[in-house]
Structure 1
């Protein structure tokens, strides 16, 4: 059993965090419609049905065709607005090969050199959604054979049209990455034979165009992934069957530096790609080794940010438990412990933004792709955004099994502190001594792979009439508060 005392006098200020930390991705393939990761079955989600490990050779079997997401759908709008004015990123691998057809001349058929088509109506729906939630828009653009001239240089007319149209529409694009995950050019959708020098040349051209013609747009990059500790000079073991370009080489080759340094964080690869390596089993999902991945990944990219973009914000522009559509348990309470820990750990290490992947697609989505009802991870995002203020404190409590403790100012502006306490032990209770009492938001589930989550014993759900639940605390007037194995609690003191 672990025992801690919550003493506000021991808190010291670390920094201010970005209030939009709970941002998210809407994949370009969600907007246009197209192939994406096939959903796991209910038995696979529950852990009662076996899943065969797969690799890239079986990728097509792991995909299915989805219609375009309806961003006007009332549940999506209501749940998006509830999270507040966050960033929305429209990107993903599919964005690298998407053609923008705003006058209908393609009739939905992708031109040579592209894989999909974005229509005016589809893009209008994105802009309307971002405006409705009071958010800001981050995009990446096409970098496929279709946007390269005969001499292999980049044709920027498609990108220029997207930015100009959005500005004219009244919802300008606020930030841009050139390309999704340039470390993995072999599977990115870039032209055959496209290499590091080509990427650096083209990102420089894209960033220069934005600085000259759309100076209000934040330059974000490089959307890095798959780096190991820089001291080792190695690529990550995940996807190690593919050629991977180190982020330090990408940054060293570029002349125009981003204003925001971005990277992607996944704890590993889902069962869909387990044959490639890097997969964690569900039994490991609350272990210290598993939960340390977020911290270690941030620790890889912070020095790179400091080296190439000193003083720039650090953004995680894709984040989730597992690449390849998420693990079978990512739609359950089991993944909430990882998500809560990531929010606390990242905000204590730096003052950036996390873009959860995705909002409403595949098994890692915050919302169910079919019903658009909230999954457990949605509620942890919502509670964090409602309770945790912008000032981040050091708790002086070491992270260990049973005690993942983080502290911020209170979002309501009142004196005191907002604590997040995660008991990731499978067997032991954690006791927290409260000197003057606390308002307690206790999160539980009937079992770890449950798709339901409870707040102080009441199931969190959205009603058919779009009514959101009351997120009310229980008052603990002092003494010792017991946090059971696998429980999460927000504590307002």
Structure 2
């Protein structure tokens, strides 16, 4: 997301069933409060997500080279003077790296979105010659056949389907400033020649947050409608199986800011001619990074506010608005959050640490329950906001929780009831086990809590040696990559009855014998 422009409700029956399945027991000796009691067999079915719900973005600059966000060390811990000062050059990334492929494969199946700001300005060099030293006029970066093939090969190797957007800069516009498939046509043709395909595409990245001269001055909502019409007609002939997504607006969850980020998703959905979105997509960030706003300002957030209920609820508040628009303009279309993370401007300062694991999982679990079909975290690899570090390809803290989500949380979502203060509880059917249930319990308190369950359970308790540290412990043992870049075995410990939740812990509880009818 750029910052230059910044200055199905549950039925009554379902609610009653959820209340019966999740109750409170008398005070526990552990936390001093009521223990959450869960009857996993009676948790009601809520909805179903895409099987590739947990997905990721790889910024286009990883393919072409380009700009990325400066590290906080280089900024001296202070916000940059402006957006340009917060950026620095990035070299293209080697997507053939064994460790990167091994780590990504553990998150499969997934979607990979090759997107971001850089994608708007790509010149596709459709030949086998050495890469041009400079992009032609009207473009900023050059994408060679070899680099695009590497991107497609990477996706195939890790069981990912490809999502992308196309060039929309002045280099592809006609004399009336209309979009043309001057880059999209050879790009798609080359993709087909390799026997590869694109699963879904947006026209371009964030139409409400352009960087001129990327778009002509005065670019209007109706111009978007005309461009999307041209795009739709072209894709119907050139790649009819590709699903078209939009509008892809950039949205910030900061109170009072959304109203100035215009045009809105509704504006674009109402454009004439009317766009037809096969997938209703949007981008969302709850705050600005400390690169672009002081941490103690209303636009950003301090680490001691990471568990603030209003902050954690911001993604859900926005999804409910998007869901209403989807129902109005594209009934029954899937809703995809095609770019999101802890903060715009390259992520929160503590995003690589254990502290951000709570936000990461709470966002996914909330949105899965409330109508989202796929979520694309920005990013898979990055210096600060990636789940994998782009220089070392070592896992950042949230990566380990992403592996457990993929391992345990199936696409079938159950209703675990409302969240308690400091203890958020979510439930899905257990991956690969008929009738089984997986619970996600986030204990965001400085004291031990507990959840009471029936039957045998497997506990995957994630804790950190320190909240703002990268070391993650699974049931007390530090997680790390082993020989030949292999992931460690991530095994549960046996539990039953009252399952203790350590202070500041992320807990996946597998209940394979729950015998929940919705999971059979």
Whether the TM-score (by the shorter chain) exceeds 0.5 is: yes
1:101-140 to 2 correspondence within 5 Å?
A: 101-103=125-127, 104=129, 107-140=132-165
Structure-2 change in CA distance of 1:214 and 1:349 (3 Å) = same
Correspondent of 2:182 among 151, 157, 160? 157
Structure-2 change in CA distance of 1:236 and 1:27 (3 Å) = farther
Correspondent of 2:228 among 189, 198, 203? 203
Partner of 2:331: 310
Cα deviation, residue 243, structure 1 = 5.8
RMSD across aligned positions (CA): 2.0
Cα displacement string for residues 261-315 of structure 1 (whole angstroms, at most 9, x for unaligned residues): 1111212110011169521111111121111112112112110111111001111
Aligned mates of 1:187, 1:90 — CA distance in 2: 22
Partner of 1:413: 433
SS, match of residue 185 in structure 1: coil
Contact 2:121/2:214 (CA < 8 Å) preserved in 1?
yes
Contact 2:95/2:150 (CA < 8 Å) preserved in 1?
yes
SS, match of residue 157 in structure 1: coil
Structure-2 change in CA distance of 1:338 and 1:191 (3 Å) = same
Partner of 1:449: 468
Correspondent of 1:244 among 238, 241, 262? 262
Cα deviation, residue 192, structure 1 = 3.1
Aligned mates of 2:441, 2:213 — CA distance in 1: 39
Asked if 1:283 corresponds to 2:300, the answer is no
Partner of 1:91: 115
> Any unmatched runs of 5+ in structure 2?
1-32, 512-520
Partner of 2:376: 355
Cα deviation, residue 372, structure 1 = 0.5
Structure-2 change in CA distance of 1:263 and 1:338 (3 Å) = same
Partner of 1:18: 50
Correspondent of 1:393 among 402, 407, 414? 414
Contact 1:287/1:401 (CA < 8 Å) preserved in 2?
no
Length, aligned pairs only: 475
Contact 1:93/1:189 (CA < 8 Å) preserved in 2?
no
Aligned mates of 2:379, 2:91 — CA distance in 1: 16
Partner of 2:82: 58
Aligned mates of 2:388, 2:448 — CA distance in 1: 31
SS, match of residue 70 in structure 1: coil
Aligned mates of 1:298, 1:26 — CA distance in 2: 23
Cα deviation, residue 184, structure 1 = 1.7
Partner of 1:467: 486
Aligned mates of 1:16, 1:368 — CA distance in 2: 31
Contact 1:141/1:178 (CA < 8 Å) preserved in 2?
yes
Structure-2 change in CA distance of 1:67 and 1:482 (3 Å) = same
SS, match of residue 383 in structure 1: helix
SS, match of residue 269 in structure 1: coil
Asked if 1:183 corresponds to 2:215, the answer is no
Cα deviation, residue 416, structure 1 = 2.4
Contact 2:172/2:181 (CA < 8 Å) preserved in 1?
yes
Contact 1:331/1:377 (CA < 8 Å) preserved in 2?
yes
SS, match of residue 55 in structure 2: strand
Aligned mates of 1:435, 1:167 — CA distance in 2: 52
Partner of 2:64: 32
Aligned mates of 2:161, 2:257 — CA distance in 1: 32
SS, match of residue 461 in structure 1: coil
SS, match of residue 272 in structure 1: coil
SS, match of residue 382 in structure 2: coil
SS, match of residue 343 in structure 1: helix
Correspondent of 1:430 among 446, 449, 457? 449
Contact 1:239/1:277 (CA < 8 Å) preserved in 2?
no
Aligned mates of 2:177, 2:38 — CA distance in 1: 60
Aligned mates of 2:368, 2:402 — CA distance in 1: 13
TM-score (norm 1): 0.92
TM-score (norm 2): 0.87
Aligned mates of 1:300, 1:282 — CA distance in 2: 27
